[in-house]
């Protein structure tokens, strides 16, 4: 009975308070669910909406995404972060065109075989698009279930995650699965929030163990803290007398993989040597710009940019697939890390 009342109360709440007018909730297709779920990983709904709308306007189906230039895909993703998501979207679209006739697979196993699709994302596609009874376990749902059943421990630990999956499966209703899955996500995003849960408005309050016996904010346990390392780098922003900026494409792996950025050096003493010898330019002036502090998931990065004014040289290196001189307007159309885009906008 507890299982039935859990889903029943959640669905009643959803009918009254759930979110039903988000862009990806109109004309629901597996492609729309997939794209929205990938964008919503580590990112709030309010941020995703504009990116999702622009993305769908450009690539409205799997085939158009598969045929896209990877740089154009990354350009649309600029500012959304976690760029491996965009690279995996493009790779998965190509695979679906080659192996699945341009359609998304309709089994959990085949979905999870695609790059960037894990069990929770695959479950969301199966539930929201195909109306099949599969659980999900995104950040919001983990929080709701951990509090409801007072499951302690960090969800990143294998045993804790397994316990949450078992609970998620046991609570699945037989009807209205799509609405139920959406209700879980909505409750976590709007009521059962991380720091200030609105327990007085929660439909699960009457038998939520964390609410009845403890402080809901104790669940789930936070990720064990480790000292965040600090790194530093120096960016060379070379601008010639034609106003063009030199950019190079980063390797596909690592931070900002596949995006366009400025040449960088770890040591200050390398800045002048690199600008004159490796870039084959004649420097007019070198001016330090305000440092940038950027925070990643696993480390912090202090960036020291240097604006290097240089003479235009028709023999200057660039103009290939990995390096090039760009006007600022054209550069801003590329896939760029957020700090690079900010500096280019400042120079513009």
Residue 150, sorted as left (phi over 0), alpha (psi -120 to 50) or beta, turns out to be left
**CA diameter of the chain:** 78
Contact 219, 150 (CB under 8 A): yes
Q: Which of 248, 252, 344, 333 shows the shortest CA–CA distance to 77?
A: 333
What is the C-alpha end-to-end distance of the chain, expressed in Å? Answer: 63
For the chain, what's the residue count? Answer: 348
Neighbours of 99 (CB within 10 A): 12
- DSSP notation for 117-150: --HHHHHHIIIIIT--------HHHHHHHHHHTT
109 is an active site residue: no
Contact 128, 178 (CB under 8 A): yes
d(CA 234, CA 144): 43
d(CA 224, CA 232): 25
d(CA 81, CA 296): 10
Contact 294, 264 (CB under 8 A): no
Contact 17, 190 (CB under 8 A): yes
Contact 28, 128 (CB under 8 A): yes
Catalytic residues: 37
């Amino acid at each position: 009975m507890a299982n039935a009342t859990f889903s029943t109360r959640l669905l009643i709440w959803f009918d009254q308070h759930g979110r039903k007018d988000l862009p990806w909730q109109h004309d629901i297709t597996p492609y729309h669910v997939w794209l929205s779920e990938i964008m919503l990983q580590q990112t709030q709904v309010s941020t995703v909406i504009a990116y999702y709308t622009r993305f769908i306007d450009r690539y409205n189906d799997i085939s158009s995404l598969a045929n896209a230039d990877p740089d154009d895909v990354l350009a649309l993703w600029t500012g959304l972060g976690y760029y491996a998501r965009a690279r995996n979207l493009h790779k998965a679209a190509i695979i679906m065109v080659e192996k699945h006739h341009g359609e998304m697979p309709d089994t959990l196993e085949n979905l999870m075989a695609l790059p960037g699709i894990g069990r929770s994302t695959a479950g969301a596609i199966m539930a929201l698009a195909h109306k099949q009874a599969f659980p999900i376990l995104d950040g919001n749902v983990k929080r709701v279930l951990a509090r409801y059943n007072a499951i302690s421990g960090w969800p990143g630990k294998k045993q804790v995650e397994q316990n949450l999956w078992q609970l998620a499966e046991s609570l699945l209703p037989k009807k209205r699965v799509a609405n139920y899955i959406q209700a879980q996500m909505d409750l976590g995003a709007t009521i059962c929030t991380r720091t200030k849960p609105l327990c007085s408005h929660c439909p699960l309050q009457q038998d939520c163990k964390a609410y009845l016996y403890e402080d809901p904010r104790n669940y789930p346990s936070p990720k064990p803290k480790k000292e965040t390392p600090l790194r530093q780098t120096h960016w060379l922003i070379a601008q010639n007398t034609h106003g063009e900026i030199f950019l190079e494409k980063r390797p596909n792996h690592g931070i900002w993989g596949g995006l366009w950025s400025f040449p960088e050096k770890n040591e200050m003493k390398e800045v002048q040597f690199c600008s004159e010898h490796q870039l084959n330019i004649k420097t007019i002036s070198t001016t330090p710009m305000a440092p940038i502090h950027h925070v990643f998931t696993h480390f912090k990065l202090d960036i020291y940019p240097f604006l290097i004014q240089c003479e235009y040289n028709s023999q200057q290196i660039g103009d290939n697939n990995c390096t090039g001189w760009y006007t600022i307007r054209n550069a801003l159309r590329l896939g760029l890390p957020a700090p690079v885009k900010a500096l280019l906008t400042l120079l513009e």
